[in-house]
Each structure stands twice: as structure tokens, then as C-alpha cells.
Structure 1
Amino acid sequence: MTDSRDDADRIFIRSTWGTNRYVYNPHNPVGRALIIGSLLFSVGGMYLLYHPGLLSGSSNWDGDELRSAVTAATAELSSEAQFGPGTINYEDILQARIAEKGHSSQDALTVTLASDPPDSDVLNGGAEQADYTVTADGTDTALCLEVYAMKRKQAMGYDFVTTSIGDGACPDS
């Protein structure tokens, strides 16, 4: 059995709470530092859990980053052909995909519908078309996305989705 004088130089000691496990030794300076470090690490982790934007990139976009993120996101959405302009909250889907492909904040990105809302007829299928203007904080660059999709008859997906990207904001219809 060890006494308390021997415990002062150990980093880990056996628990005195009736269990047979090892715990940090608060009488040792390294053990005390590990206790404090563990608490700070867990508090920092909890803070980041509720503030995930702290780990994202800067809040400002630049023109080249915006253009490449839009190009990559629209190519991915077109190849999946799962979502089209008639999908509810398609602007939010576009915004989230563009933000995934970029290195800046999603909050600084804006996707707005610049045309009439597309008609979506799930039962009969048909063509859906809409224009979206993409802008971002930190750049004067604006891009116009013309999205055209062909909806399958009584199906969840699309036959195809095509997107053309133009410079400048979309003209209001």
C-alpha cells in the first residue's frame, strides 16, 4: 500500500471512491494540468458544437472562388438529377451545395429566384425552368443560373437537369 507522500510524484493514482480505476492525481503538477486541460478541452468542444461557423473559412468570398464553387455545385446537381427548379426550397439547396464547394461562409452567400416560380406537376411531369442570381459578400461578382429540368411522369427524380451560368445578375422577368 502506498501513502500520500508516494502519491505526490505520480501522475495517475487509483481512485479513492471505491473503484479500482486510475484517475489524474491532483497533488501532482502534471496531473493538475491534465485535469484543467481536460476541462478546457471539453468546454471548447461544447462551444464549437453550438458555434460551427467558427471553423469555416472567412465570411467573404472572392469572384474566382464563387465562380468555381457555382460551377462545381451545379455540375454535381445536374449529374444527380434529383433536385430541380420545381423542388421546394431549391434556392436553399443551391446555396448549401455552393457553400460546400467553396471555402467561405454560407451566410455570406445569397441565391435568389430572378424569374417566375417554376410550375411543378408531379403527376404529369414536364419541363421546369427558372433563373437564379447568385451573389456573395466580399465580391461584386454576380452570376445568373438558368436551370432547365425535365420531370418524369409520376416519379420523384428528373430525367435531366441542365444549368447554364452567365455573368451578371439575371434580368428580372
Structure 2
Amino acid sequence: MSTDNAHEPVFVRSKWGTNRYVYNPHNPAGLVLIVFSLLFAIGAMYYLQSSSKWSDGELREAVHQAAEALEAVPMQKSEWTDHIDYSPLIDDAIEKTGKGPSYGVQVSQVDDDTNVYEITADGADGVHCMTITEAAEQAVRYYRTVHLGVSVEDHGC
């Protein structure tokens, strides 16, 4: 073999007993490919780590958009149901906003008798307080249409 690096192949057979081809560090192009592969792997790991946690801004925006979505659509409520736990609806509305990761949101009801919910998320320091009020509009048979009034405060309940 010559000492001129331009004549070295970019790929060589692995010397570790496998039959695979690997980048050749003795070729300038092979060395560049090794460096770019490492930088790409580091960047991908950083992106995955940063996109798996909620930021305070993402959570705030998602909670406010979810409140608007809950107010926009009337719902049907049975006349036999005194109290509805809106936690799953809030969680779904937050997920449908598309902000932040699709997991890690905790919605907890502050008191069993009220519609006050505290919302937190993994990675975010912010806590939001959502209060839901019901305004019954129209009764049809055993169901009534309920419009929700939703208010959000950017602090704990």
C-alpha cells in the first residue's frame, strides 16, 4: 500500500471478524464520514431528549388553547349525572393542540365537589388552574346541552 491517502478506499472490510464494510479513517472522505456520523448521532440524541419534556411556554399555550377548544363545543349531559370529572376531556384537549410531547401531562381535580383542576407537566415548572362552569341550555328527553365556561389562571389552585 502506498502512503498517499487519496488512493485509500473510503470503505474497508471490518477487521473485527465480521464481513461488514466500515469507514476507512485513513481516507480523508472516510474520516469526514466518521466525524459527521458522530455529530449526527449527538444531535439526534439531543433533539430526542429536548423534545421529550414540556417547557413552561408549551404547557401554558396548550392549556389556553385547550380551554378555548372546550368552550367552543357544547356537550350532552345526562340528567342523572350530577357531577362529571372533566380530567380526561382536559387531557384530550391538551393533546389535540399538538403542543409539546403527547404524554407527561397531569390533570388533577382539586376538590371532588368542584370543577377546579390543576394542570402540570413533566419538565415544566409551571402550574395552571382551570375552572369549568356549566351553563345548561336545552333539555331533550333525558339529556341536556351544556355549554362550558372555562377560565385559566397561570398559577396553582
The TM-score bracket by the shorter chain reads 0.5 to 0.7
The equivalent residue for 1:58 is 51
CA positional deviation for 1:151 = 3.0
Show CA shifts across 1:32-61 (max 9, x none): xxxxxxxxxxxxxxxxxxxxxxxxx93311
The equivalent residue for 2:41 is none
Structure with greater proportional strand content? 2
Question: How many positions carry a matched residue from both structures?
Answer: 102
- 1:142 and 1:155, CA in 2 relative to 1: closer, same or farther beyond 3 A? same
Letter in 2 for 1:71: H
Higher relative CO (Cα under 8 Å, sequence separation at least 6) belongs to 2
**1:161 to 2:148 alignment:** yes
Identity of aligned residues (%): 25
Q: Which runs of 4+ in 1 moved over 6 A?
A: none
Classify the secondary structure of the residue corresponding to 1:116. Answer: coil
Classify the secondary structure of the residue corresponding to 1:157. Answer: strand
Show CA shifts across 1:89-134 (max 9, x none): 520111111022143233210000012235xxxxxxxxxxx10000
Q: TM-score, normalised by structure 2?
A: 0.56
Q: TM-score, normalised by structure 1?
A: 0.51
**1:139 to 2:120 alignment:** no
Q: CA RMSD in A?
A: 2.6
Gapped regions of structure 1 (runs ≥ 5):
1-56, 119-129
- Which of 79, 82, 86 is the aligned partner of 2:83? 86
Gapped regions of structure 2 (runs ≥ 5):
1-49
- Which of 104, 107, 111 is the aligned partner of 2:103? 107
- 1:116 and 1:61, CA in 2 relative to 1: closer, same or farther beyond 3 A? same
Give the alignment of 1:1-173 within 5 angstroms.
Answer: 58-82=51-75, 86-87=83-84, 89-118=85-114, 130-152=115-137, 153=139, 154-158=142-146, 160-170=147-157
Decide whether the 8 Å contact of 1:133 with 1:142 is kept in 2.
yes
Decide whether the 8 Å contact of 2:60 with 2:154 is kept in 1.
no
Classify the secondary structure of the residue corresponding to 1:107. Answer: coil
